[in-house]
Structure 1
């Protein structure tokens, strides 16, 4: 799809209202919170959790860092950074700690990031905060025992948009000391890469997107950084628009030189799609581990 091709006529509210499409979403969210709390308890008991690290000036700019058990002579470890979904206006890091389990057990560190929610900020403001989180982790990597060359960013839904924006960031404009990119790759699950269709939905009530700001915040229209590697995944039972978003984004960025891989998630809706990221043995977990060079 070029910039000038019209989109097909759609019922945007129906296509993008993920909660309405999953009637038992409240039960799922409650289960996530319980599983995440249990994971934090386990990580804290094992001395692996660093809770509420501050990466910016705003109250919600916090992240939890889970470090793997120390291994003598193992050297610096890779890092997965997770950005949650919620259409930039809901959810938080306390809902997703459990996704870290299969990575920590294999010797990787995991950061689960909070960011300021709309309408207290804008979608562009959230992208800026995500950059701050990545830069803090990159700068602290030698102290934390993290391998700077194996930092992988992941995200679901709105978090997928964040992954795309990070992959398109001209990092030297924010941190001249960095050569290339601080991220080795990204995983975007059910991402929204073109935000313009959201303008006429109830989702936009808190976002305040205009055609100009939606386009500026859309990775679809950005240029991928050199050597960009991304994994894209969408639930098989998600709406046609979520599938179109990833399909069109993959085509556009592949044409621009990015290396894009896809992972099928058959039988999964918008909420269960992200759960695959934390399932031991799932192909999406395997693809994420591969980006971090963990066999």
Structure 2
């Protein structure tokens, strides 16, 4: 496969994952089945802001929730919706935690800084419905956004962030073809890169990444862990699409890392 630049190759995931095209319909089917199974414990389409995509789904455990886990989806800030990932709430619910999954305005309609502002509002709106501690996790671009919720300008009340395969330094993405839609410039890339921002002292963090991911994602994860002086885990054998599978299993090492210390 040909790429227009080295940066495009560095951040291409689907091209290097066997059977990649099967993952999206599989996720969507699992998410739909999960919502159907949960019935009235799935509160769908709750509003947190004025824009069309400013909505979140809230999934509740069978007993009063211990706290709230917010999961932020990925897709390079360009794709997907909260409804594609509902099944990833299963691990949190089995541990007695509620799980909120927000959508947010995608590029090119919104810039990344605007998405960060939306996620702050989503965390505050969802946490207002669930008492207890707040954990924010997310995958890929959602890993970036979840990390931003742990920065000094993040929403109040967040106790822990666990970015999964995060994009922590946005500057390399300026050289990719997708930047035509992201519209990142040097100023915004620095202002919105968690690796160049201070983590709130009250927030603990753990970075997670798959061992079989593109080298650029391993580098991004390590950079964030080093800049924040927080642990990072390289999940053996996992690539960019299956590194999130542990969210469905309450006993997985990923869920253990998410819930550590809260």
Q: In which range does the TM-score fall when normalised by the shorter chain?
A: over 0.9
Select the residue among 49, 53, 63 that pairs with 2:46. 53
**Deviation of the 1:253 alpha carbon:** 1.3
> In structure 2, how many angstroms separate the alpha carbons of the residues matched to 1:68 and 1:103?
8
> In structure 1, how many angstroms separate the alpha carbons of the residues matched to 2:166 and 2:153?
21
Matched, 1:89 2:92: no
Select the residue among 23, 29, 41 that pairs with 1:34. 29
Cross-structure match for 2:205: 230
> In structure 1, how many angstroms separate the alpha carbons of the residues matched to 2:171 and 2:79?
20
**Deviation of the 1:231 alpha carbon:** 1.4
Rg larger in structure: 1
**Deviation of the 1:49 alpha carbon:** 0.8
Query: Which structure 2 residues correspond to residues 211-250 of structure 1 after superposition, within 5 A?
Result: 211-250=186-225
Checking the alignment, whether the CA contact within 8 Å between 1:123 and 1:217 is kept in structure 2 is yes
Query: Which structure 2 residues correspond to residues 1-295 of structure 1 after superposition, within 5 A?
Result: 11-44=6-39, 47-70=40-63, 77-141=66-130, 146-147=131-132, 150-171=133-154, 181-254=156-229, 260-291=230-261, 293=262
Q: Could you list the per-position Cα deviations for residues 184-215 of structure 1 after superposition, in whole angstroms to 9, with x for gaps in the alignment? A: 10111110000000111122121011111111
**Deviation of the 1:23 alpha carbon:** 4.8
> In structure 1, how many angstroms separate the alpha carbons of the residues matched to 2:164 and 2:94?
22
Q: Could you list the per-position Cα deviations for residues 132-161 of structure 1 after superposition, in whole angstroms to 9, with x for gaps in the alignment? A: 0011123333xxxx21xx110000000111
> In structure 2, how many angstroms separate the alpha carbons of the residues matched to 1:170 and 1:195?
18
Q: Could you list the per-position Cα deviations for residues 5-59 of structure 1 after superposition, in whole angstroms to 9, with x for gaps in the alignment? A: xxxxx92111111222225222101100000001000111xx2111000000000
TM-score normalised over the length of structure 2: 0.93
> In structure 2, how many angstroms separate the alpha carbons of the residues matched to 1:35 and 1:50?
17
> In structure 2, how many angstroms separate the alpha carbons of the residues matched to 1:59 and 1:39?
24
What is the number of residues matched between the two proteins?
258
Checking the alignment, whether the CA contact within 8 Å between 1:134 and 1:182 is kept in structure 2 is no
TM-score normalised over the length of structure 1: 0.83
Instruction: Indicate the SS of the match to 1:225.
Output: coil
Instruction: Indicate the SS of the match to 2:205.
Output: strand
In structure 1, stretches of 5+ residues that fail to align are 1-9, 175-180, 255-259
CA RMSD of aligned residues (A): 1.6
